[in-house]
Structure 1
Amino acid sequence: MAGGMHFIVGIATDEYVILASDKATFAYGAVLADDNNDKEYRLGKKLTMMCIGEEGDVAQFGDWTKRNIQLYAIRNGYELCPKSAHHWIRRGIAEALRTEEYYAVDVLLGG
């Protein structure tokens, strides 16, 4: 990843998942551009995604993922389980890597 240092961590137990990340946004290396950037995306009632990477890619990929998973829930009447969401997100990133418009993001999914 180009840019400054990002932090993302997740802990899973039998009953819950804890996800955490920093709120910093870096521009041109180690220059701190913003210290209040939310990298958390609520994908459903029991599904949360944390993204780090280039600011534009994180915002675009996070919104795209959130809207498409919510659309899936509306069309089918139920939300994706974490395992299915993981495979769908991974496929989306893999397909984007084969184009010029790929996302430079790291994702942590919990649910």
Structure 2
Amino acid sequence: MECLLGLACKDFVLIAADQTNAHSIIVMKNDENKLFKISNQMVMGITGESGDATQFAEFIAKNIQLYKMRHRYELSPAAAANYTRRNLAGYLRSRTPYMVNMLLGGFDPQTGSELYFIDYLGSFQKLKFATHGYGGFFCMGIMDRYHKDDLTVDEAYEVLKKCVREIHKRLIINLPNFKVQVVDKNGIRDLDPLTAKNVSDVSEAA
């Protein structure tokens, strides 16, 4: 029922995650944070079992920070994504697998912005745009049509607005709020959340 959206352009990555925490048929809260800071220029959006998601994200973040302390430099987004996938695949073959799906976005001064799709089976792919969850069924076509490498942050944010508006319109599951973060050469910063109120001004015109 959860949803992650990611867009990678030339100079930045945008990641959005719904903020709904539900148990069975009950919505527990609508302000859950599913975006985790992994390093100064990396963000992980993660969904899945609540305990698994928080524990695995914190495990990855702390180990990447430990690597920085030991070696005095940070892992690149590509290295961090490979490390994450390897750990997830290892736990999958143990008695305690993590049932989580992730989008990992980051900025590397040498290679630019990078977005990685990782699922609970250890599948791993670098992409320009990606989704997780039922909401993504309504967004891939929109992202494919409007994504360009030279989009500005504001233009990419408008693409995510179109996606969230379509989720609100088409998906039977209620996902009212999405938290959005951008990662670029200046680090990580929050953008305005995408809610039913502020996506309603997006034009229906293609």
TM above 0.5: yes
**2-side partners of 1:59 and 1:94: how far apart?**
17
**2-side partners of 1:35 and 1:100: how far apart?**
32
**2-side partners of 1:105 and 1:80: how far apart?**
22
Q: Unpaired segments of 5 or more residues in structure 2? A: 107-206
Q: Which runs of 4+ in 1 moved over 4 A?
A: none
Structure showing greater Rg: 2
| Partner of residue 87, structure 2 | 92
Deviation (angstroms), 1:44: 0.9
Identity level (%):
34
**Equivalent of 2:100, from 77, 84, 105?**
105
| Partner of residue 23, structure 1 | 19
| Partner of residue 61, structure 2 | 66
Partner of 1:87, secondary structure, is helix
| Partner of residue 45, structure 1 | 40
Deviation (angstroms), 1:31: 2.2
| Partner of residue 33, structure 1 | 28
Q: TM-score, normalization: structure 2?
A: 0.50
- Superposed CA RMSD in Å reads 0.8
In the alignment, is residue 12 of structure 1 matched against residue 5 of structure 2? no
Q: TM-score, normalization: structure 1?
A: 0.92
Aligned length: 106
